[in-house]
Every structure is written in structure tokens, then in C-alpha cells.
């Protein structure tokens, strides 16, 4: 592979590369987002792409556009994708949608990998793309699932935060380097309201319609008959302007919502989970 340097992140990148050194074959739990894609690319640099497998969990909580994009990015890196059908939606604990929902989702993914993919593809270890910012947040129960399944987290262990991961992705010229965060569709449903395939499909259709209208970074929070739309703050004036406002309203009504509202706070990462695990709604950060 072409030699590149990573500037201020060089030492930490070397730590990530070194984490893969003891293994013959590695699987990366992969979504196509910047964290998992950067980890996948670094694993390929450390071992060679023929010794790395990208494992993509597929369920109703993964939007079709995200699935297709993940394949495109993996093809750019040169690593094969293995899709694993996950069934977290059959788990009553996941359906209940408590603050630990992500634990049940990741536990299902890692269990499926342990039960089939690791053996078939002769994988010595699985890694996933938790970064150092994620490791400090209280609303990431998926981290517990990773620990229980002995999954590696080389980015977090090396101290690479989100900003550093994006810098590395740009050096590697990954197509997703500046891709907005895209949490799973279930994150749009308030906690303790049941997650169902119908709700997930409704959210996916609504967000797809917003992207078609030019809103690249968006969330549609599902509040029964009402859609609460989160956009970048700078996009809100455009969204409420005559013409586009009517288009948004019509598109989201077509997705099955009766009422459509735009949240003036903009995009809020962890909007449903952080108030429950941190005790304050004010700690939700933008752009997560």
C-alpha cells in the first residue's frame, strides 16, 4: 500500500496498526461510517486486505442507503464485506427500547459473528470502531457488549477521538471522511416506546425524502403521529421558507406522519438516551 504520514496522529495510528500485529485474520464490525471505515482501512494496512473481513449487520434498523454506502466504501478500501442477518428485533428487551437498547443490538451482532462468521472466515479476533469520545460517553451501552465478547477497540485504546479519526480518514482519502454520523434508525424512537419494523420503515422513508430535498444531515424523531425533524441549525431557515416547507410537510405526511414539526435546537446526538443516563437533557451534543 502507498506510504502516507498522519502528522500529529502518527504515533496513535502506529498503535492501532500494532494492535492487529498478533493476528493472522481479523474481522471488523462495520457500518460504513467514518469510525468503522477508518478502522477497516487501518486493519487492511496492517495485515493486507486479504486478511481482513468487514462484517456488516443487516436488519430493519439499517437504512438501505447506509447498506449500499457501506459496500461502496469497503470496495474502495479493497476489503470484502460479509453481511450478517441480525434479529435483535425479535428480542423483547430490544423491543422495550430502554436506554440499554444498543447493548442488545451489539450483543446480537457479536453473538452472530461468534457463532458463524468467525469460524467460516477463520477470524482470530473481532474489532469495532469505538473512538475515544464514545468511550467517555455514558450513553454507549454497546461498549459493554464488546467487552463481554472480547471485541477489540483499537481506536479508543489509542486515544483517537472523532476529530482525529476524521483527520486520518482524510489522509486515507476515504469517501466517508466527512460523512455525517448516521446512528441506526431505532435511535429515532423515544425510549420505552416499542421499536417495530413499521416505525423503522417510516423513519427511513421520511429521512430519505429529506435527503432528496437537499438535507444531507438530518434526523426524523418518531413521536407517534408526529415527526420531529432535526436539521443542521444553518439549514433550518431554508427548511421553513415558503415552498420547501410545503415540500417537507408533504413528503413526511406521505411517509405516514400526520403532523410535522422542526426542532429549533437542531441535530442532537443522544437526544433520547443522554437525559436518562446522565440526568440532564442539556448534555446532548450536536453532530453525533
Q: How does pLDDT run across 169-224, given as a tens digit for each residue?
A: 999 999 999 999 888 999 999 999 999 999 999 999 999 999 999 999 999 999 99
Q: Is the domain of 124 the same as that of 11? A: yes
Q: Is the domain of 151 the same as that of 204? A: no
Euclidean distance between CA atoms 282 and 272, whole angstroms? 11
Q: Is the domain of 75 the same as that of 149? A: yes
Total-model pTM = 0.90
What DSSP state is assigned to residue 8?
Answer: G
Q: Are 30 and 71 in contact (CB under 8 A)?
A: no
Q: Is the domain of 120 the same as that of 195? A: no
Write down the pLDDT at residue 68: 97
Q: Is the domain of 237 the same as that of 104? A: no
Residue 79, in any domain of the structure = yes
Q: Are 170 and 24 in contact (CB under 8 A)?
A: no
Q: Are 117 and 152 in contact (CB under 8 A)?
A: no
How many domains is the chain partitioned into structurally? 2
Q: Is the domain of 218 the same as that of 149? A: no
CB neighbour list of residue 155: distance below 8 Å, 6 or more residues apart: 16, 35, 38, 39, 129, 130, 131, 132, 165
Q: Is the domain of 57 the same as that of 121? A: yes
Residue 75, in any domain of the structure = yes
Q: Is the domain of 263 the same as that of 238? A: yes
Q: Is the domain of 167 the same as that of 204? A: no
Q: Is the domain of 95 the same as that of 191? A: no
Q: Are 196 and 281 in contact (CB under 8 A)?
A: no
Domain final position from 171, 202, 221: 171
Q: Which residues are catalytic?
A: 184
Residue 177, in any domain of the structure = no
Q: Is the domain of 21 the same as that of 125? A: yes
The residue segments making up the domain with residue 270 are 185-283
Residue 127, in any domain of the structure = yes
Q: What would the pLDDT profile of 226-271 be if each residue is shown by its tens digit?
A: 999 999 999 999 999 999 999 999 999 999 999 999 999 999 877 6
Amino acid at each position: 500500500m502507498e506510504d502516507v504520514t498522519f502528522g500529529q496522529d502518527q504515533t496513535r495510528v502506529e498503535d492501532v496498526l500494532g494492535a492487529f500485529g498478533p493476528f493472522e485474520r481479523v474481522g471488523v464490525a462495520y457500518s460504513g461510517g467514518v469510525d468503522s471505515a477508518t478502522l477497516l482501512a487501518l486493519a487492511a494496512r496492517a495485515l493486507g486486505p486479504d486478511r481482513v473481513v468487514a462484517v456488516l449487520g443487516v436488519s430493519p434498523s439499517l437504512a438501505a442507503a447506509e447498506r449500499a454506502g457501506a459496500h461502496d466504501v469497503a470496495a474502495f478500501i479493497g476489503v470484502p464485506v460479509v453481511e450478517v442477518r441480525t434479529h435483535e428485533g425479535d428480542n423483547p428487551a430490544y423491543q422495550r427500547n430502554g436506554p440499554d437498547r444498543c447493548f442488545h443490538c451489539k450483543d446480537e451482532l457479536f453473538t452472530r459473528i461468534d457463532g458463524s462468521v468467525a469460524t467460516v472466515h477463520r477470524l482470530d479476533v473481532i474489532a469495532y470502531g469505538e473512538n475515544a469520545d464514545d468511550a467517555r460517553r455514558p450513553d454507549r451501552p454497546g461498549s459493554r457488549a464488546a467487552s463481554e465478547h472480547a471485541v477489540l477497540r483499537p481506536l479508543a485504546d489509542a486515544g483517537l477521538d472523532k476529530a482525529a479519526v476524521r483527520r486520518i480518514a482524510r489522509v486515507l482519502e476515504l469517501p466517508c471522511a466527512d460523512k455525517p454520523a448516521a446512528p441506526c434508525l431505532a435511535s429515532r424512537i423515544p425510549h420505552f416506546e416499542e421499536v417495530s419494523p413499521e416505525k423503522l420503515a417510516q423513519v427511513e422513508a421520511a429521512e430519505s425524502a429529506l435527503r432528496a430535498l437537499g438535507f444531507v444531515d438530518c434526523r426524523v424523531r418518531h413521536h407517534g403521529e408526529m415527526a420531529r425533524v432535526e436539521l443542521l441549525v444553518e439549514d433550518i431557515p431554508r427548511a421553513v421558507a415558503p415552498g420547501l416547507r410545503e415540500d417537507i410537510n408533504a413528503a413526511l405526511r406521505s411517509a405516514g406522519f400526520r403532523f410535522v414539526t422542526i426542532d429549533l435546537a437542531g441535530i442532537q446526538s443522544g437526544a433520547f438516551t443522554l437525559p436518562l443516563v446522565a440526568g440532564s437533557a442539556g448534555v446532548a451534543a450536536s453532530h453525533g
